[in-house]
A and B are shown apart, each in its own frame.
Chain A
Amino acid sequence: MTLTVLLVTFAVLLLIGMPISFCLALSSLAAIFFLDLSPLVVLQRIFAGVNVFALIAIPFFIYSGEIMLHGGASERMVRFARALVGHWRGGLGQVNVLTSLLFGGISGSAIAGVSAVGGVLIPKMKEQGYDADYAVNVTVSASTLGLMIPPSHNMIIYAIAAGGGVSVGTLFLGGILPGFVTAALLMVAAYAVARKRGYATTAFEGWAMIGHSFLAATPGLLMILIIVGGIRLGIFTPTEASAIAVVYGLAIGFWVYRELGIRSFWKITSNATRTVASVLFLIAAASAFGWVLAVSDAPAAVAEFMSSVTDNKIVALLMINAALLILGAVMDMAPLIIIATPIFLPIAQHFGMDPHQFGVMLIMNLGVGLITPPVGTALFVGCAVGETKMEAIMRTIWPFYLAHLGAILLVTFVPGFTLWIPELLS
């Protein structure tokens, strides 16, 4: 009954356009009233939800992403990717995917990826005769790659939500191969569509250009290595690594690329704070919501429902994927990780899935939600940057969805995709 109050309040508020964070907070409050508890409980859960030391890595990774974005790293990565794959069929589409893979890792945010990579490449693609829908399709579908490539702050949220037994280092490494596989599938899709539409190709720029642009992009790429290596080797904690990423990014922006000044530093910090506050506020509200779900035995109810439908591993995992895709389409990522993990992780583990593998699968599914209406935040930003209508995008994006779904299925059913690299480096 509490569960009904919670979910109905939530659904009604969501439907009438209440911001998601307040949908979560207000429906939790309604359920608390129904349980005859004091609203103090909600405030306590909100406090406990954010006052987690491991969470401090999130503001820092968002901050360092913002620094890299405006500190000169993104243009240099576009340049490097262009030298590498610009001459392939669908050239700038391929460049787009590769840049998202490289840059997305650093920024860790699909939305930042769309505005950073798309802002540079979508106008350029249109200029060179690519259709606007193709440019936006490639940009938004590649933007979620950053969620899989370390350092991804969403993986940290998952590690916290999953509790003990999940290591951030393993999770970070586990996302790398799925990220590359998704990128490869997206490149195939970009190639196929480009071929069908007969887009022209450009000449290879030569190895010298590759070497030159690689050197220019190295400081940015090195950051990923420092963070992943440092965490993996146990030199520093993920939180310390995230602070190092900020200091490193500032050092590069100020002294290597020389594109930062004190004014732009303050503006970047202020921008980053805005994103950080939105994400953390959602996490805070979601932890109140998650608490009510837990006390009303929702995870057990879902598990019971699933076991009444099937005891087949393949069917069960497909059902979890479908549920995550649907939830991801109507809700934002960070709160969903907190809410969905305690519900679905035990079921997946019951079928023998490794929690790291589940985490990567969860994030890939919710990533597709970011590029799917009605709450496709990255999709909307892409449409805005490309000055296109969402309807036009939705008609032609399906090859890219197929690429994502293919990658999700591989990660779901082949544990090695996630676990091979962490085992190799253990």
Chain B
Amino acid sequence: MTDVPNDPTEPKPPARAPGPVGRLLNGAAAVTQFFCTALMVVMTVIISWQIFGRFILNDTPKWSEQLAGVLMVYLTLLGGAIAVKEGRHIALTYFRDRFPVKVREATWVICHLLVLGFGLVMLVYGVKMAQLVQAWTIPTLGVSTSVNYWPFPVSGALIAAFSAQALVRAWSNTP
């Protein structure tokens, strides 16, 4: 599903080079993608270590599943934000493509605004959630339960920023 081409109805980004904010966001996306790829490798190592521990050392590590599970949440939320940036989340465009151009553009803007809004909800309530569980500890890992929820505000901030970036680009492109 990553192979679906970008929606051709989306406004083309302007030809001019990205400004400082644009460069910062592109950099943030690249760093996040690098982090996600590294997470995938780390998860593979963790579960391989678990298998090695169980079969060879006769001692199954107790932390491995828990840690891989938390890392998967990071991968999901941060990777989901990258997909917003790259326009890779699958949508049903069949009907929208048949709308008149003005309506199509309006729905495009509405969708981006709503995604931006959801990003902000993730940011605000993600921080709240992390604070709520700050005092608890994940027993097998010995760290605060709040690590479970930190990817929410980070992903939310990225999602909001990337949507805003798309909106600004579309705006500055229209004469």
Contacts and interface: CB of A to CB of B under 8 A. Distances in A.
B40 A240 contact: no
B91 to A, nearest CB: 4
Nearest to A284: B76
Contacts of B132: 40
A43 B149 contact: yes
A281 B2 contact: no
Interface string B65-107: 1001110110111111011001011111111100000000001
A273 B79 contact: yes
Contacts of A247: 44, 48
B92 A240 contact: no
Nearest to A64: B44
A279 B149 CA distance: 20
Contacts of B4: 377, 380-381
B3 to A, nearest CB: 5
A277 B82 contact: yes
B28 interface: no
Interface stretch (B15-23, B117-125, B165-173): B117-125
A73 to B, nearest CB: 18
A152 B149 CA distance: 30
A274 B81 CA distance: 10
Nearest to B117: A26
A285 to B, nearest CB: 9
Contact of B79 (A63, A239, A269, A277): A277
A96 to B, nearest CB: 18
Contacts of B73: 47, 50-51
A39 B73 CA distance: 18
Contacts of B154: none
Contacts of A282: 90
Contact of B69 (A15, A52, A114, A278): A52
B121 A29 contact: yes
Interface of A: 13-22, 25-26, 29, 38-40, 42-44, 46-47, 50-53, 55-56, 59-60, 63, 111, 114-115, 236, 239-240, 242-244, 246-247, 266, 269-284, 330-332, 373-375, 377, 380-381, 384
Interface of B: 1-5, 7, 33, 36-37, 39-41, 43-44, 47-48, 50-51, 54, 65, 68-70, 72-73, 75-80, 82-83, 86, 88-96, 107-108, 110-111, 114-115, 118, 121-122, 125-126, 128-129, 132, 148-149, 152
Closest 3 interchain pairs by CB?
A: A277-B79, A19-B89, A374-B94
Given A17-B111, A21-B80, A60-B44, 12 more contacts: A13-B114, A17-B92, A19-B111, A22-B118, A29-B118, A47-B73, A59-B40, A59-B43, A60-B43, A270-B33, A274-B83, A276-B40
